[in-house]
Amino acid sequence: MKAAVFHEHGSTENIKYEDFPDPEIGPDDCLIKVKAVALNGFEPMILGKTTALRTPLPMIPGGDIAGEVVELGANVDKDSWRPGDRVSLYPLIKGEGMIGESRLGGCCELVRVPADCLIPIPDGLGDVEAASLPVAYGTALRMMITRGKVKKGETVLILGAAGGVGVACVQMAHAAGCEVIACSSADWKLDKLRGLGADHVINTQDQDVRTWVYEKYGKPRMGEGGGVNVVVNYIGGDTWVDSLKIIHPEGRMLTCGASAGYATENDIRYIWTYEISIIGCNAWSRADQAETMRMVTDGEIEPVIHAVRPLSETGGAIQQLIDRDYFGKIVLQP
Ligand SMILES: NC(=O)c1ccc[n+]([C@@H]2O[C@H](COP(=O)([O-])OP(=O)(O)OC[C@H]3O[C@@H](n4cnc5c(N)ncnc54)[C@H](OP(=O)(O)O)[C@@H]3O)[C@@H](O)[C@H]2O)c1
Protein backbone atom coordinates (compact mmCIF):
# COMPACT_ATOMS: atom_id res chain seq x y z
CA MET A 1 0.00 0.00 0.00
CA LYS A 2 0.96 3.68 -0.18
CA ALA A 3 1.71 5.40 3.14
CA ALA A 4 3.18 8.60 4.58
CA VAL A 5 6.02 7.36 6.78
CA PHE A 6 8.84 8.76 8.88
CA HIS A 7 11.83 6.57 9.66
CA GLU A 8 13.51 9.13 11.94
CA HIS A 9 12.20 11.90 14.18
CA GLY A 10 12.85 15.43 12.96
CA SER A 11 11.29 17.85 10.47
CA THR A 12 8.47 17.26 7.97
CA GLU A 13 11.15 16.56 5.33
CA ASN A 14 11.50 13.18 7.05
CA ILE A 15 7.95 12.22 5.99
CA LYS A 16 8.12 10.17 2.81
CA TYR A 17 5.18 9.03 0.69
CA GLU A 18 6.24 5.49 -0.16
CA ASP A 19 5.29 1.84 -0.57
CA PHE A 20 4.76 0.11 2.78
CA PRO A 21 3.77 -3.50 3.56
CA ASP A 22 0.01 -4.10 3.85
CA PRO A 23 -1.00 -4.85 7.46
CA GLU A 24 -1.82 -8.45 8.36
CA ILE A 25 -4.84 -9.04 10.55
CA GLY A 26 -5.16 -11.38 13.53
CA PRO A 27 -8.32 -13.32 14.52
CA ASP A 28 -9.81 -10.42 16.55
CA ASP A 29 -8.90 -7.71 14.02
CA CYS A 30 -10.46 -6.02 11.02
CA LEU A 31 -8.73 -4.59 7.98
CA ILE A 32 -9.96 -1.07 7.22
CA LYS A 33 -9.65 0.86 3.98
CA VAL A 34 -8.87 4.46 4.97
CA LYS A 35 -11.26 6.99 3.43
CA ALA A 36 -10.15 10.05 5.41
CA VAL A 37 -7.65 10.81 8.18
CA ALA A 38 -7.49 14.06 10.18
CA LEU A 39 -4.37 15.63 11.68
CA ASN A 40 -4.00 16.95 15.23
CA GLY A 41 -1.65 19.11 17.30
CA PHE A 42 0.22 16.03 18.53
CA GLU A 43 1.35 15.09 15.00
CA PRO A 44 4.21 17.67 15.01
CA MET A 45 5.03 16.73 18.63
CA ILE A 46 5.45 13.04 17.76
CA LEU A 47 7.39 13.74 14.58
CA GLY A 48 9.69 16.16 16.45
CA LYS A 49 9.88 13.90 19.56
CA THR A 50 8.94 16.74 21.89
CA THR A 51 6.88 14.45 24.14
CA ALA A 52 8.06 11.81 26.59
CA LEU A 53 6.19 9.15 24.55
CA ARG A 54 8.16 6.29 23.05
CA THR A 55 7.25 6.08 19.37
CA PRO A 56 8.39 2.96 17.49
CA LEU A 57 9.95 3.65 14.08
CA PRO A 58 9.09 3.65 11.26
CA MET A 59 5.85 5.45 12.14
CA ILE A 60 2.80 6.33 10.07
CA PRO A 61 1.11 9.41 11.61
CA GLY A 62 -2.65 10.04 11.93
CA GLY A 63 -5.03 8.87 14.66
CA ASP A 64 -8.40 10.18 13.46
CA ILE A 65 -9.64 7.71 10.86
CA ALA A 66 -12.84 7.13 8.93
CA GLY A 67 -12.91 4.10 6.67
CA GLU A 68 -14.61 1.05 5.31
CA VAL A 69 -14.38 -2.55 6.55
CA VAL A 70 -12.50 -4.71 4.02
CA GLU A 71 -11.84 -7.98 5.86
CA LEU A 72 -12.84 -9.55 9.19
CA GLY A 73 -10.65 -11.78 11.40
CA ALA A 74 -11.86 -15.32 12.19
CA ASN A 75 -13.22 -14.39 15.68
CA VAL A 76 -15.01 -11.17 14.67
CA ASP A 77 -18.80 -11.31 15.00
CA LYS A 78 -20.08 -11.50 11.41
CA ASP A 79 -23.54 -10.34 12.50
CA SER A 80 -22.11 -7.08 13.87
CA TRP A 81 -19.74 -6.16 11.04
CA ARG A 82 -19.66 -6.77 7.32
CA PRO A 83 -17.25 -5.79 4.52
CA GLY A 84 -18.35 -2.39 3.19
CA ASP A 85 -19.54 -1.04 6.60
CA ARG A 86 -18.54 2.60 7.12
CA VAL A 87 -16.68 3.02 10.43
CA SER A 88 -15.02 5.59 12.66
CA LEU A 89 -12.08 4.14 14.62
CA TYR A 90 -11.66 4.65 18.37
CA PRO A 91 -7.90 5.28 18.38
CA LEU A 92 -6.95 4.21 21.93
CA ILE A 93 -6.30 0.49 21.64
CA LYS A 94 -5.96 -1.66 24.77
CA GLY A 95 -2.41 -3.00 25.04
CA GLU A 96 -1.24 -1.14 21.90
CA GLY A 97 -1.67 2.55 22.77
CA MET A 98 -2.79 5.34 20.51
CA ILE A 99 -3.02 4.96 16.73
CA GLY A 100 -0.43 7.21 15.07
CA GLU A 101 1.48 7.68 18.32
CA SER A 102 2.62 4.33 19.72
CA ARG A 103 1.34 2.10 16.90
CA LEU A 104 0.98 2.67 13.15
CA GLY A 105 -1.49 5.41 12.18
CA GLY A 106 -3.91 6.15 9.38
CA CYS A 107 -1.94 8.25 6.87
CA CYS A 108 -1.98 5.26 4.51
CA GLU A 109 -4.43 3.13 2.54
CA LEU A 110 -5.08 0.24 4.97
CA VAL A 111 -5.05 -0.12 8.77
CA ARG A 112 -5.43 -3.10 11.09
CA VAL A 113 -7.48 -2.56 14.25
CA PRO A 114 -9.20 -4.82 16.78
CA ALA A 115 -12.91 -5.07 16.02
CA ASP A 116 -13.82 -3.41 19.34
CA CYS A 117 -12.37 -0.14 17.99
CA LEU A 118 -15.07 0.14 15.33
CA ILE A 119 -17.91 2.63 15.71
CA PRO A 120 -20.51 2.81 12.93
CA ILE A 121 -20.70 6.10 11.03
CA PRO A 122 -24.33 7.25 10.93
CA ASP A 123 -26.01 7.82 7.56
CA GLY A 124 -25.71 11.41 6.47
CA LEU A 125 -22.24 11.94 7.95
CA GLY A 126 -19.44 12.14 5.37
CA ASP A 127 -16.02 10.49 5.68
CA VAL A 128 -14.17 13.81 6.00
CA GLU A 129 -16.51 15.04 8.75
CA ALA A 130 -16.36 11.71 10.61
CA ALA A 131 -12.54 11.73 10.53
CA SER A 132 -12.42 15.28 11.90
CA LEU A 133 -14.29 14.44 15.12
CA PRO A 134 -12.54 11.96 17.48
CA VAL A 135 -9.53 13.78 18.98
CA ALA A 136 -10.68 17.42 18.71
CA TYR A 137 -14.42 17.08 19.36
CA GLY A 138 -14.16 14.03 21.63
CA THR A 139 -11.62 15.81 23.86
CA ALA A 140 -13.61 19.06 23.82
CA LEU A 141 -16.80 17.22 24.78
CA ARG A 142 -15.09 15.54 27.72
CA MET A 143 -13.22 18.69 28.81
CA MET A 144 -16.07 21.20 28.50
CA ILE A 145 -19.11 19.10 29.38
CA THR A 146 -18.21 15.83 31.17
CA ARG A 147 -15.35 17.15 33.33
CA GLY A 148 -15.68 20.94 33.11
CA LYS A 149 -19.48 21.12 33.45
CA VAL A 150 -19.69 24.51 31.74
CA LYS A 151 -23.18 25.90 31.96
CA LYS A 152 -25.40 28.62 30.61
CA GLY A 153 -24.44 32.13 31.67
CA GLU A 154 -20.81 31.31 32.61
CA THR A 155 -17.91 33.25 31.13
CA VAL A 156 -15.45 30.88 29.40
CA LEU A 157 -12.07 32.07 28.10
CA ILE A 158 -10.32 29.73 25.64
CA LEU A 159 -6.61 30.11 24.84
CA GLY A 160 -5.37 28.69 21.50
CA ALA A 161 -9.00 28.76 20.40
CA ALA A 162 -8.24 28.47 16.68
CA GLY A 163 -6.73 24.97 16.86
CA GLY A 164 -8.61 21.71 16.45
CA VAL A 165 -9.59 21.28 20.12
CA GLY A 166 -10.05 25.04 20.60
CA VAL A 167 -12.56 25.48 17.78
CA ALA A 168 -14.55 22.55 19.17
CA CYS A 169 -14.43 24.10 22.69
CA VAL A 170 -15.74 27.41 21.32
CA GLN A 171 -18.58 25.61 19.55
CA MET A 172 -19.50 23.56 22.64
CA ALA A 173 -19.33 26.50 25.08
CA HIS A 174 -21.47 28.58 22.70
CA ALA A 175 -23.97 25.72 22.31
CA ALA A 176 -24.15 25.44 26.14
CA GLY A 177 -25.13 29.14 26.38
CA CYS A 178 -21.84 30.50 27.81
CA GLU A 179 -20.31 33.91 27.15
CA VAL A 180 -17.26 32.89 25.13
CA ILE A 181 -13.93 34.74 24.93
CA ALA A 182 -11.69 33.24 22.23
CA CYS A 183 -7.95 33.92 22.01
CA SER A 184 -5.65 33.47 19.02
CA SER A 185 -2.56 35.11 17.58
CA ALA A 186 -4.08 35.90 14.15
CA ASP A 187 -6.87 38.33 13.21
CA TRP A 188 -8.14 36.15 10.33
CA LYS A 189 -8.68 33.28 12.78
CA LEU A 190 -10.42 35.59 15.28
CA ASP A 191 -12.90 36.66 12.56
CA LYS A 192 -13.75 33.00 12.01
CA LEU A 193 -14.10 32.39 15.77
CA ARG A 194 -16.65 35.23 15.95
CA GLY A 195 -18.53 33.48 13.14
CA LEU A 196 -18.67 30.32 15.28
CA GLY A 197 -20.24 32.13 18.24
CA ALA A 198 -17.36 33.73 20.19
CA ASP A 199 -18.81 36.80 21.95
CA HIS A 200 -15.38 38.43 22.40
CA VAL A 201 -12.02 37.80 20.76
CA ILE A 202 -8.49 38.65 21.90
CA ASN A 203 -5.47 38.81 19.62
CA THR A 204 -2.71 37.58 21.96
CA GLN A 205 -0.03 39.16 19.75
CA ASP A 206 -1.07 42.71 20.61
CA GLN A 207 -3.34 42.38 23.66
CA ASP A 208 -2.39 41.12 27.10
CA VAL A 209 -5.11 38.66 28.15
CA ARG A 210 -4.93 39.48 31.88
CA THR A 211 -5.27 43.24 31.24
CA TRP A 212 -8.22 42.63 28.91
CA VAL A 213 -10.04 40.49 31.51
CA TYR A 214 -9.40 42.97 34.36
CA GLU A 215 -10.76 45.84 32.24
CA LYS A 216 -13.82 43.88 31.14
CA TYR A 217 -14.76 41.88 34.27
CA GLY A 218 -12.61 43.39 37.04
CA LYS A 219 -9.81 41.81 39.06
CA PRO A 220 -10.95 38.69 40.97
CA ARG A 221 -11.60 39.43 44.68
CA MET A 222 -13.02 37.03 47.27
CA GLY A 223 -16.64 37.89 47.98
CA GLU A 224 -16.80 40.37 45.12
CA GLY A 225 -16.31 38.44 41.88
CA GLY A 226 -14.29 39.63 38.89
CA GLY A 227 -12.44 37.49 36.34
CA VAL A 228 -13.98 34.69 34.28
CA ASN A 229 -15.64 31.49 35.51
CA VAL A 230 -13.60 29.13 33.35
CA VAL A 231 -10.24 29.31 31.58
CA VAL A 232 -9.40 26.58 29.05
CA ASN A 233 -5.60 26.34 28.95
CA TYR A 234 -3.81 23.56 27.01
CA ILE A 235 -1.01 25.96 26.06
CA GLY A 236 0.89 25.92 29.39
CA GLY A 237 4.31 27.60 29.21
CA ASP A 238 4.27 31.24 30.28
CA THR A 239 0.46 31.48 29.98
CA TRP A 240 -0.24 29.35 33.07
CA VAL A 241 0.31 31.81 35.94
CA ASP A 242 -1.52 34.63 34.16
CA SER A 243 -4.46 32.26 33.62
CA LEU A 244 -4.62 31.57 37.38
CA LYS A 245 -4.82 35.33 37.96
CA ILE A 246 -7.94 35.87 35.84
CA ILE A 247 -10.20 33.18 37.33
CA HIS A 248 -13.30 34.20 39.28
CA PRO A 249 -13.42 32.99 42.91
CA GLU A 250 -14.37 29.28 42.90
CA GLY A 251 -13.78 29.17 39.15
CA ARG A 252 -12.14 26.40 37.10
CA MET A 253 -9.08 25.95 34.92
CA LEU A 254 -9.52 23.14 32.37
CA THR A 255 -6.52 21.55 30.72
CA CYS A 256 -5.75 18.66 28.36
CA GLY A 257 -2.26 19.55 27.16
CA ALA A 258 0.69 21.94 27.15
CA SER A 259 1.56 23.04 23.60
CA ALA A 260 4.07 25.64 24.87
CA GLY A 261 5.59 23.56 27.71
CA TYR A 262 4.40 21.45 30.64
CA ALA A 263 7.00 22.30 33.29
CA THR A 264 5.47 25.71 33.92
CA GLU A 265 5.84 28.14 36.80
CA ASN A 266 2.94 28.17 39.24
CA ASP A 267 1.55 30.56 41.84
CA ILE A 268 -0.18 28.45 44.43
CA ARG A 269 -1.48 31.50 46.33
CA TYR A 270 -4.14 32.07 43.64
CA ILE A 271 -5.33 28.46 43.86
CA TRP A 272 -6.07 28.61 47.60
CA THR A 273 -7.05 32.28 47.89
CA TYR A 274 -9.65 32.08 45.14
CA GLU A 275 -10.47 28.38 45.67
CA ILE A 276 -9.73 27.57 42.06
CA SER A 277 -10.26 24.03 40.76
CA ILE A 278 -7.77 22.78 38.19
CA ILE A 279 -9.45 20.04 36.17
CA GLY A 280 -7.47 17.73 33.93
CA CYS A 281 -8.94 15.90 30.98
CA ASN A 282 -7.36 13.00 29.16
CA ALA A 283 -8.89 11.52 26.03
CA TRP A 284 -12.56 10.57 25.70
CA SER A 285 -14.68 7.43 25.60
CA ARG A 286 -16.13 5.43 22.70
CA ALA A 287 -19.53 6.75 23.79
CA ASP A 288 -18.19 10.35 23.57
CA GLN A 289 -16.96 9.63 20.03
CA ALA A 290 -20.38 8.31 19.01
CA GLU A 291 -22.00 11.33 20.72
CA THR A 292 -19.93 13.78 18.63
CA MET A 293 -21.23 12.07 15.47
CA ARG A 294 -24.80 12.33 16.77
CA MET A 295 -24.30 16.03 17.55
CA VAL A 296 -23.26 16.64 13.94
CA THR A 297 -26.02 14.59 12.31
CA ASP A 298 -28.60 16.29 14.57
CA GLY A 299 -27.27 19.71 13.53
CA GLU A 300 -26.03 20.78 17.01
CA ILE A 301 -22.48 21.42 15.82
CA GLU A 302 -20.73 21.45 12.45
CA PRO A 303 -17.08 20.35 12.30
CA VAL A 304 -14.81 23.05 10.94
CA ILE A 305 -12.64 21.71 8.11
CA HIS A 306 -9.75 23.93 7.04
CA ALA A 307 -8.60 21.82 4.09
CA VAL A 308 -8.87 18.40 2.50
CA ARG A 309 -5.58 17.34 0.89
CA PRO A 310 -4.33 14.17 -0.83
CA LEU A 311 -2.42 11.68 1.33
CA SER A 312 0.73 12.29 -0.72
CA GLU A 313 0.80 15.82 0.83
CA THR A 314 0.95 14.61 4.47
CA GLY A 315 4.34 16.28 5.10
CA GLY A 316 3.11 19.63 3.77
CA ALA A 317 -0.09 19.35 5.79
CA ILE A 318 1.84 18.69 9.03
CA GLN A 319 4.05 21.67 8.17
CA GLN A 320 0.86 23.76 8.00
CA LEU A 321 0.17 22.72 11.61
CA ILE A 322 3.71 23.69 12.65
CA ASP A 323 3.35 27.07 10.90
CA ARG A 324 -0.07 27.54 12.61
CA ASP A 325 -1.46 28.33 9.16
CA TYR A 326 -4.89 26.70 9.53
CA PHE A 327 -8.24 27.05 11.27
CA GLY A 328 -10.03 23.89 12.39
CA LYS A 329 -9.14 20.50 10.95
CA ILE A 330 -6.83 19.45 8.13
CA VAL A 331 -7.99 16.15 6.61
CA LEU A 332 -6.10 13.87 4.20
CA GLN A 333 -7.59 11.40 1.76
CA PRO A 334 -5.84 8.50 0.01
N1 LIG B 1 -4.96 14.84 26.69
C2 LIG B 1 -5.64 14.59 25.57
O3 LIG B 1 -6.39 13.63 25.49
C4 LIG B 1 -5.52 15.53 24.41
C5 LIG B 1 -6.32 15.35 23.29
C6 LIG B 1 -6.22 16.27 22.24
C7 LIG B 1 -5.32 17.32 22.32
N8 LIG B 1 -4.52 17.45 23.41
C9 LIG B 1 -3.59 18.57 23.52
O10 LIG B 1 -4.36 19.76 23.41
C11 LIG B 1 -3.60 20.77 22.76
C12 LIG B 1 -4.38 21.31 21.56
O13 LIG B 1 -4.50 20.29 20.58
P14 LIG B 1 -4.90 20.67 19.09
O15 LIG B 1 -4.92 19.42 18.32
O16 LIG B 1 -6.09 21.55 19.08
O17 LIG B 1 -3.63 21.55 18.69
P18 LIG B 1 -3.50 22.64 17.59
O19 LIG B 1 -4.47 22.37 16.48
O20 LIG B 1 -2.05 22.69 17.31
O21 LIG B 1 -4.00 23.99 18.29
C22 LIG B 1 -3.36 24.63 19.32
C23 LIG B 1 -3.56 26.14 19.20
O24 LIG B 1 -2.80 26.65 20.25
C25 LIG B 1 -2.00 27.72 19.81
N26 LIG B 1 -0.59 27.34 20.00
C27 LIG B 1 0.05 26.29 19.48
N28 LIG B 1 1.32 26.26 19.92
C29 LIG B 1 1.46 27.32 20.74
C30 LIG B 1 2.53 27.84 21.50
N31 LIG B 1 3.74 27.25 21.51
N32 LIG B 1 2.32 28.94 22.23
C33 LIG B 1 1.12 29.54 22.23
N34 LIG B 1 0.06 29.10 21.51
C35 LIG B 1 0.24 27.99 20.78
C36 LIG B 1 -2.29 27.97 18.36
O37 LIG B 1 -3.16 29.09 18.28
P38 LIG B 1 -2.87 30.42 17.39
O39 LIG B 1 -1.88 30.07 16.33
O40 LIG B 1 -4.18 30.78 16.86
O41 LIG B 1 -2.40 31.42 18.36
C42 LIG B 1 -3.04 26.73 17.90
O43 LIG B 1 -4.08 27.04 17.03
C44 LIG B 1 -2.26 20.14 22.43
O45 LIG B 1 -1.35 20.45 23.47
C46 LIG B 1 -2.56 18.66 22.42
O47 LIG B 1 -1.42 17.87 22.70
C48 LIG B 1 -4.62 16.56 24.45
pLDDT digits 0-9 by tens, 61-75: 999 999 999 999 999
Hey, whose CA ends up nearest to atom 40 of ligand 1?
Answer: 184
Q: Which of 164, 134, 153, 173 is nearest to 254 (CA)?
A: 173
Is the CB–ligand 1 distance for residue 44 below 6 Å?
no
β strands within 99-246, DSSP E:
110-114, 118-120, 155-158, 179-184, 200-203, 228-232
Is the CB–ligand 1 distance for residue 150 below 6 Å?
no
Provide mean pLDDT across the span 283-295. 95
Is the CB–ligand 1 distance for residue 184 below 6 Å?
yes
Give CB contacts under 8 A, 24+ apart, made by 75-78: 75/27, 75/28, 76/27, 76/28, 76/29, 76/30, 76/115, 77/115
Query: What tens digit of pLDDT does each residue of 91-121 get?
Result: 999 888 999 999 999 999 999 999 999 999 9
Provide mean pLDDT across the span 210-232. 96
Write the CA distances from 182 to 92, 189, 260, integer angstroms. Answer: 29, 10, 18
Is the CB–ligand 1 distance for residue 137 below 6 Å?
no
Q: What's the confidence (pLDDT) of residue 51? A: 81
Q: Which atom of ligand 1 is found nearest the CA of 42?
A: 47
pTM for this structure?
0.95
- The DSSP annotation for 80-112 comes to T--TT-EEEEP-EETTTEEBTTTB--SSBSEEE
Ligand 1 centre from 81 Cα, in Å?
A: 35
Is the CB–ligand 1 distance for residue 159 below 6 Å?
no
Mutate which of 43, 45, 143, 165 to test ligand 1's pocket (most atoms within 8 Å of Cβ)?
A: 165
What is the set of domains in the chain, with CATH numbers? 2-132+304-333 (3.90.180.10), 136-280 (3.90.180.10)
Q: One-letter amino acid identity for 40?
A: N
Query: What tens digit of pLDDT does each residue of 312-321 get?
Result: 999 999 999 9
Ligand 1 centre from 41 Cα, in Å?
A: 5
Is the CB–ligand 1 distance for residue 166 below 6 Å?
yes
Terminal-to-terminal C-alpha distance of the chain: 10
- Cβ neighbours for 52, distance < 8 A, ≥ 6 positions apart: none
Average pLDDT, the chain: 96
Hey, whose CA ends up nearest to atom 9 of ligand 1?
Answer: 257
